[in-house]
Amino acid sequence: MPDASTPDLAALREAAAAAQKALEEAERAAAPAAPETGRPEGAAPPSAPAPATPDSPLDGYAAEVAAGYASGATLPLGALLEGEAGGEATPNPQVQVGFALSMLNRHGLVAGATGTGKTKTLQGMAEGLSLAGVPVFLADVKGDLSGLALPGPDNPKVAERAASIGQEWRPTQYPVEFYSLGGIGKGVPIRTTVTDFGPLLMSKVLGLNETQESSLTLIFHWADKKGLALLDLKDLQSVIAYLTSDEGKGELKGIGGVSAATAGVILREIVGLEGQGADAFFGEPAFATSDLITTKGDLGVLSVLELPAVQDRPQLFSTFLMWLLADLFQDLPEVGDADKPKLVFFFDEAHLLFTGASKDFLQQVVQTVRLIRSKGVGVFFVTQSPKDVPSDVLAQLGNRVQHALRAFTPDDATALRAAARTFPTSPYDLERLLQELGTGEAVVTVLTEKGAPSPVAWTRVRAPQASMDPAGDAAIDQVVAASPGQARYGTPVDAESAFELLQAKAQEQAAGQAAAEGSATAAEDERELAKERARLEKEAATRERTEARHKEQAARDRNRVVTSLAKTAGTVLVRELTRSLFGTRKR
């Protein structure tokens, strides 16, 4: 038996537990309250959660972010930053931020002021997609993305930055194809025919009203029935001119006709489109958009459309965008929810698409963006501010990567507040944070695999592994020369089409008219010659009759003289004989 002075072990354990519980309650009571979503007016703005060491367990908002971005196949973007906004921030490599590959067809926005790193974010996303085997199309307006064809140079600062966010960085070269619009600039030319572009899309681009659109559709229909191929803009112009000419204006009377006023509007708009350089975009050989959906080994091919030569011609850029998305939507099968997209588009400097755009154009973009996701195609708009994208289009963009915004004017401040309100609720003071983000940092929210927005994450974005400097002309020329697309699309073809056929018809008619006019002239000449011959013959006959009359008159005159003389002589003779006989002759 235990001695009475020996401590009861069970009692000791209970006392220790009670003391520990009391200590924990005291510590909780002394700890500051957790930050709330709202804050009293004038209170200091909350910042991101306190930094954690790589080996520490995740808790608080960091754990929420980690859980929100945990998914199967992902496109990595960067790591969570923790610390004070505008002050020292520490990346937490344990909390990786990225996109669910299966949700990239929900489209997205990459925005930020000039110099904040959005183009490098775009480049890093394209590289990650290529590594995932997803083909990518990039509209490179400024020529900044051509470095994708070259491995990035070794840089200790880049390597150190990559290591801090858990990125295994190494110089990498990606499979790249360079394209150009109709051969304007460097790259394999992308062209399409007017027929393939279609009357509805052409009407949207030209900004036609319903009546004019109906007339243009009628013109396309007539040309198709007559076997007149509409390959380039001069084909369309020649058909319109023919149908409003004296010869062709009766062609469409039975099915509605086209007024001269409507035809004039369409022709003027086509001339304006030509002024933007679209005549180079329309023609043959026509580009097959399926060529953009290709891989090289396990890597998705990056198709880079070089646009520096056309960045001052937004209508041409818009025309191309509408055709490309519409053509893909028409040709691609429905795929539903796939593990990863079939193709992802990035349109840099997206404000060029919408500056001065017509209402019809915007409606077409909204409709195309809304529907094309069912084909497994994702579209990302890259621009300086969310306000550059129309609200109807912005509403379709579920994935957001927002770099720093500036608020130098009242309009900028309004845009900043609007951008902050589009993000889900978070412990960040986004109006402050968005102005104080460093280069290569972004505020991110994406759609999870369940279709819900992920927690807002202050993120340090991964560094591109290809060259961040533009490739030189020699490197681009080398890639283009080795491209199978250059052999297929490099040389333009001017096949016989509506322009040539109508021109030949006009020449035949002119020759027939000239021949008819020549025949008429010859007949007229013959008639004139006959008239002249008859006149001469008549004059000759008149002269002959006149001469005959003159001869007859002269003969009569001679006869009268002879007769007169004979009479006179006879009279004299008789008188003399009489005188002689009767003795009356004077002697």
Q: Which helix (H) or strand (E) segment is 17 a member of?
A: helix 9-30
Residue 29 has pLDDT above 60, yes or no: no
Mean per-residue pLDDT for 242-247?
A: 87
Q: Are 341 and 377 in contact (CB under 8 A)?
A: yes
Residue 57 has pLDDT above 80, yes or no: no
Q: Which pLDDT band holds residue 546 (cuts at 50, 70, 90)?
A: confident
**Residue 346: which residues within 8 A CB-CB, separation 6 or more?**
110, 122, 125, 126, 136, 137, 138, 139, 380, 382
The more confident residue out of 451 and 55 is 451
Delimit the domains of the chain by residue range: 74-152+295-466, 196-274
Mean per-residue pLDDT for 271-279?
A: 85
- Residue closest to 173 by CA, chosen among 153, 152, 158, 156: 152
Q: Which pLDDT band holds residue 56 (cuts at 50, 70, 90)?
A: low
Q: Which pLDDT band holds residue 236 (cuts at 50, 70, 90)?
A: very high
**Residue 173: which residues within 8 A CB-CB, separation 6 or more?**
149, 150, 151, 466
Residue 41 has pLDDT above 80, yes or no: no
525: number of Cβ within 10 Å: 10
- For residue range 436-472, what is the model confidence (pLDDT) as tens digits? 999 999 999 999 998 899 999 999 999 999 999 999 8
| Distance (Å, whole) CA 124 – CA 144 | 13
- Give the pair of three-digit tokens for residue 576: 């003399």
Q: What are phi and psi of 349, to 5 degrees?
A: 50, 50
Q: Worst-scoring range by mean pLDDT, 20-34, 272-286, 440-454?
A: 20-34
Segments in 437-483 forming alpha helices (H):
473-482
- Identify the pLDDT of residue 78: 96
Q: Worst-scoring range by mean pLDDT, 255-259, 385-389, 427-431?
A: 255-259
Percentage of the chain modeled with pLDDT above 70:
83
- Identify the pLDDT of residue 507: 78
Cα 498 from chain centroid? 24
Mean per-residue pLDDT for 391-402?
A: 92
Q: Which CATH number fits domain 74-152+295-466: 2.60.40.10, 3.40.50.300, 3.40.1440.60, 3.30.750.24?
A: 3.40.50.300
**Residue 393: which residues within 8 A CB-CB, separation 6 or more?**
354, 362, 365, 366, 369, 381
The more confident residue out of 537 and 18 is 537
Residue 51 has pLDDT above 60, yes or no: no
Q: Are 427 and 62 in contact (CB under 8 A)?
A: no
Q: Which pLDDT band holds residue 70 (cuts at 50, 70, 90)?
A: confident
The radius of gyration of the chain's CA atoms, rounded to the nearest angstrom, is 48
Residue 30 has pLDDT above 70, yes or no: no
Mean per-residue pLDDT for 48-58?
A: 53
- Residue closest to 77 by CA, chosen among 138, 118, 133, 137: 118
Q: Which pLDDT band holds residue 278 (cuts at 50, 70, 90)?
A: confident
Q: Worst-scoring range by mean pLDDT, 25-39, 260-274, 567-581?
A: 25-39
| Distance (Å, whole) CA 541 – CA 313 | 83
Q: Which pLDDT band holds residue 220 (cuts at 50, 70, 90)?
A: very high
Mean per-residue pLDDT for 328-354?
A: 88
| Distance (Å, whole) CA 116 – CA 459 | 13
Model confidence, pTM: 0.76
- Identify the pLDDT of residue 52: 45
Average pLDDT along the chain: 83
- For residue range 122-181, what is the model confidence (pLDDT) as tens digits? 999 999 999 999 999 998 888 889 999 999 999 899 999 999 999 999 999 999 999 998
- Give the pair of three-digit tokens for residue 175: 């499979």
- Identify the pLDDT of residue 286: 94
The more confident residue out of 20 and 120 is 120
Residue 55 has pLDDT above 60, yes or no: no
Q: Which pLDDT band holds residue 88 (cuts at 50, 70, 90)?
A: confident
Highest mean pLDDT among 106-115, 275-284, 334-343: 106-115
Residue 517 has pLDDT above 90, yes or no: no
Q: Worst-scoring range by mean pLDDT, 42-51, 58-67, 352-361?
A: 42-51
| Distance (Å, whole) CA 320 – CA 310 | 11
